[in-house]
Amino acid sequence: MVLIMDIKAEANNLGFSLAGITSPETPDHFSVFESWLAAGRNGSMAYLSRADTLAKRENPRLLMPGTNSILCLAYPYPNAARQMKASTDKLLGMVASYARLKDYHKWLPKLIDDLIHCLEARLGYSIAYHAFTDSAPILERDLAWRAGLGWIGKNGCLIHPDAGSCFFLAEVLLELDLPQDKPYPADHCGSCTRCLDACPTQCILPDRTIDARRCISYLTIEHKGDIPRELRGSMDNWVFGCDVCQSVCPWNGRLLARDYPDVTAESEALLAQPDLIAELKLSEIVFKEKYDQYPLSRARREGDLRNVAIVLGNTKSDVAITALAESMTCDPAPVVRAACAWALGNIGGKKAGGVLHSQLDLEADEIVREEIQLALSRC
Ligand code: SF4
Ligand code: SF4
């Protein structure tokens, strides 16, 4: 027991807000995940339903034979609600809070190694372990709940009354046999429905899962190709991810003033609210240089610029027309050109219509042409 208290205290010293131990048995809500897949709610994330990854989610021991315990950890990132800034001279986008920090896959594993080395120093011998930070097929929220870290809220996030839900989850599979924590005993959502009411695409389901096919986080990050037309308007100004269901959650409200580790002025300035018109001009090389260390690189240039074009369309601002017209005629990626055409149609008016009209005969890609024609019908 003393050892467990030492691990948790050391985790806290290293910046982790929550820590708990569970077993490597099948996660309690594995069948909910199976039903979610069966309903096709994973969208184009086919890797989630592959037999080998499914088997690992069901049996975490397949990730590391000999696993006796799983240490679940939560590491905080700053709450979304702080980042809204008014600007009168620029059109600005929004980036999900977690993505404003350097990619956690690059720095969180080192902190976990430090924690395990402390544990080994206490024990006096080395232990076999394998750490994951959203980097393996593992039902992390389910295991974190069972390790006592919090309850799974109606928005599908793991929530703790003192830590909210804005944290990265990590799991350490250990060969060590440790006493397990009890599952989190309560559900503090009660009669609250704020996240359900606020979700722009109404994709939060009654079984506390999300229909990824309609979720802005999925659409702007994981989804490749065109974003379904009926959902583009709901993106509002979200360029990468979406924090709405976490921002409105009362359990996150109290954490605004907290000091978070590893938030640098540099990343705040770089990613808090991208200047949309400048972003639309990023070349492949500049995109790579700018986002190499950041989660935004996951969307790749064409995904990022597709999102930027849609968000510019959502602003309905004439100021965006010149930049959108230039990208619609010159961008090498059809998905970006198509998004620019949609955006021009959404802004509408004579000027946007003129640009669309003159590009119709010059565009060779069938999908982009179709988008231009549809856009023209709205001008
Ligand atoms: S991330 Fe946004 S779109 Fe997705 S469930 Fe939450 S509020 Fe809805
Ligand atoms: S907003 Fe309300 S219902 Fe949604 S997760 Fe938070 S407490 Fe639960």
pLDDT digit string, tens, across residues 126-146: 999 999 999 899 999 999 999
If one residue of 197, 204, 221 were mutated to test the ligand 1 pocket, choosing by the most ligand atoms within 8 A of its CB, it would be: 204
Mean pLDDT computed over every residue of the chain:
91
For position 262, what pLDDT does the model report?
Answer: 52
Span from the CA of 367 to the centroid of ligand 2 (angstroms):
40
298 pocket-lining for ligand 2 (C-beta < 6 Å)? no
Say how many Å lie between the CA of residue 150 and the centre of ligand 2: 13
Helices (H) and strands (E) in the chain, counts: 18, 8
- The residue whose CB lies within 8 Å of the most ligand 1 atoms, and thus the one to mutate among 199, 207, 231, is 199
Task: List pLDDT tens digits, range 190-218.
Answer: 999 999 999 999 999 999 999 999 999 99
pLDDT of residue 271 exceeding 80? no
Res. 267: pLDDT tops 70: no
Q: What are phi and psi of 129, to 5 degrees?
A: -150, 160
CA 10 to ligand 1 centroid distance, Å: 34
Q: What distance in Å separates the CA atoms of residue 130 and residue 48, rounded to the nearest whole number?
A: 21
Q: Is the CB of 56 under 6 A from ligand 2?
A: no
Q: What are the residues whose beta carbons fall under 8 Å from the beta carbon of 47, sequence distance 6 or more?
A: 53
What token pair was written down for 365? Answer: 């890609």
Q: What percent of the chain has pLDDT over 90?
A: 83
DSSP 236-282: TTEEE---HHHHT-HHHHTTTT---TT--HHHHHHHSS-BHHHHTT-
pLDDT one-digit tens code per residue, 286-322:
999 999 999 999 999 999 999 999 999 999 999 999 9
Judge if the beta carbon of residue 248 lies within 6 A of ligand 2.
yes
CA of 155 to the centre of ligand 1 (A): 8
Residue ID of nearest Cα to ligand 1 atom 4: 215
Q: Write the CATH number of the domain with boundaries 275-379.
A: 1.25.10.10
- How confident is residue 5, by pLDDT bands cut at 50, 70 and 90? confident
- Which protein residues are within 6 Å of ligand 1, measured from CB? 155, 199-201, 203-204, 210, 215-217, 242, 244-245
Token representation of residue 164: 């909210």
Q: Is 213 helix (H, G, I), strand (E, B) or coil?
A: helix
Ligand 2 centroid to Cα of residue 74, in Å, is: 19
Asked if residue 304 lies in contact with residue 276, where contact means CB atoms within 8 angstroms, the answer is no
Whether 167 and 18 have beta carbons less than 8 Å apart is answered as: yes
CA distance 42 to 61: 24
Q: Whose CA is nearest to atom 6 of ligand 2?
A: 249
pLDDT confidence band for 86 (50 / 70 / 90): very low
Q: Using most ligand atoms within 8 A of CB, pick from 79, 141, 145, 154 the residue to mutate for ligand 2.
A: 154
Residues 127/175, Cβ–Cβ less than 8 Å: yes
pLDDT for residue 257:
44
Q: Let me know if 365 is a catalytic residue.
A: no
Query: Torsion angle, CA of 261/266/269/272, rounded to 10 degrees?
Result: -40
d(CA 216, CA 241): 6
Q: How far is CA 141 from the centre of its chain?
A: 14
Measured CA to CA in angstroms, residue 152 lies from 137, 301, 357 at distances of: 19, 34, 50
* Spatial contact of 195 and 85, defined as CB atoms under 8 Å apart: no
Q: Which residues of 60-82 are buried (b: 16+ CB within 10 A; e: fewer)?
A: bbebbeebebbbbbbbbbbbbbe
Please state the atom number of ligand 2 nearest to the C-alpha of residue 157.
5
Cα 73 to averaged position of ligand 2 atoms, centre (Å): 22
Q: Are 293 and 282 in contact (CB under 8 A)?
A: no
322-371, pLDDT tens digit by residue?
999 999 999 999 999 999 999 999 999 999 999 999 999 999 999 999 99
Does residue 249 line the site of ligand 2, with CB under 6 A? yes
Sign of CA dihedral 35, 41, 46, 47: negative
- Would you say the CB of residue 154 lies under 6 angstroms from ligand 2? yes
Catalytic residue among 134, 162, 292, 318: 134
User: Residue 251: is its pLDDT beyond 70?
Assistant: yes
pLDDT level of residue 6 (50, 70, 90 thresholds): confident
**Rounded to whole angstroms, how far apart are CA atoms 57 and 139?**
6
Q: What is the Cα–Cα distance from 347 to 320, expressed in whole angstroms?
A: 9
Residue 23 scores a pLDDT above 60:
yes
The answer to whether residues 180 and 22 touch, using CB atoms and an 8 Å cutoff, is yes
Q: How is the beta sheet containing 167-174 ordered, strand by strand?
A: 18-22, 69-76, 167-174, 129-132
* pLDDT for res 272: 64
Domain residue ranges of the chain, discontinuous segments joined by +: 1-271, 275-379
